[in-house]
Structure 1
């Protein structure tokens, strides 16, 4: 890792021995361990260990769960909020498990569309709800800092499964809950 940063500093014309940069390779290595810790965790385990047989058959919504991730195209952050709704069949999941699932997938090199899909597919596979929906709103620094340089752009994506995809009323109820 140190050689990588020494080459990087040299390529941009920086002095690797400058006081402010001496410990940077170590600091960044620790940061990267944290930012990409999702590769060392199994998202399915996060859900499997946190569900229980439930009696609820109405919609459950976990709204505005904040996340930070890294765009795999430019290695710049994107961040925002994810909301997850589901209609249980037999299993109900602890709310903190939804946040953990989001964290595991967001702590990997990502694109927003895949992040949404991975969350929905894992939820669908482990919890087996009658429907699941994942909505993500994010700001991408790769769009703000370079290229088109649009500072206020927010990208919104959604993934729908089961009743949320089949039934417009179910989808509308979820969207209304997000507004209130």
Structure 2
């Protein structure tokens, strides 16, 4: 599935929302309500601290709302000895959460680009994946946001992103099919509408495995 940046919806960060953020106490109260709703007692020993622990865990699981991909990609290294061929960072692991059921999405991202005026630190690409993954997501939107952030900051001659992931909303509930992989892609510049470059990208992603 080709994730076109111009047509897929893109999540807005916290700066675009002016609504009041609930307090920690309100968030913990909401967790207690849900525990009661499923039929358990939030006051019993094993659950009494669960609301506090869950809110603390969510701060980490969804920290992407408070981080900036543009800041991560802000430093470009121009001294690359004239290198202008493709740069590939492969097998970037990530986990996210489905925005429809708030259950995990787990997978890997592969990012390749043709530098224009320089290269970015390799870890920065992994951080961009992490920033957008640690939000409520669909895989299509996650792909589009990663493409959009890299394209806007680096303006590469070409960019290719491939994400493959398993969705627990499909494995744990509903149809309950485990091991099903969903693949999304996004291409710009030299990779877009160029079958040769896309094949090269796929070969580099798949072809060098032991």
TM-score, shorter chain, exceeding 0.5: yes
Give unpaired runs (5+ residues) of structure 2. Answer: 1-26
Instruction: For 1:20-169, list aligned pairs within 5 A.
Output: 20-49=46-75, 51-53=76-78, 54=80, 55-169=82-196
RMSD: 1.0
Q: Following the alignment from structure 2 to structure 1, what is the Cα–Cα distance between the partners of residues 86 and 65?
A: 31
Q: Across the two proteins, how many residue pairs are aligned to each other?
A: 179
- Calculate the TM-score normalised by the size of structure 2: 0.83
- Calculate the TM-score normalised by the size of structure 1: 0.96
Q: Secondary structure at the match of 1:164?
A: coil
1:166: how far off?
A: 3.0
Correspondence for 2:199:
172
Per-residue CA distance 1:22-45 (angstroms, 9 max, x = gap): 100011011000011111111111
1:2: how far off?
A: 2.5
Q: Following the alignment from structure 1 to structure 2, what is the Cα–Cα distance between the partners of residues 119 and 10?
A: 38
Per-residue CA distance 1:148-172 (angstroms, 9 max, x = gap): 1111111011011111113211111
**Which has the bigger relative contact order, CA under 8 A and spacing at least 6?**
2
Q: Following the alignment from structure 1 to structure 2, what is the Cα–Cα distance between the partners of residues 56 and 74?
A: 45
Correspondence for 1:2:
28
Per-residue CA distance 1:92-143 (angstroms, 9 max, x = gap): 1110000111111111111111111111111111101110011001010000
Q: Following the alignment from structure 1 to structure 2, what is the Cα–Cα distance between the partners of residues 150 and 171?
A: 30
Q: Following the alignment from structure 2 to structure 1, what is the Cα–Cα distance between the partners of residues 140 and 28?
A: 33
Q: Secondary structure at the match of 1:166?
A: coil
Structure 1 stretches of 4+ with a deviation exceeding 3 A read none
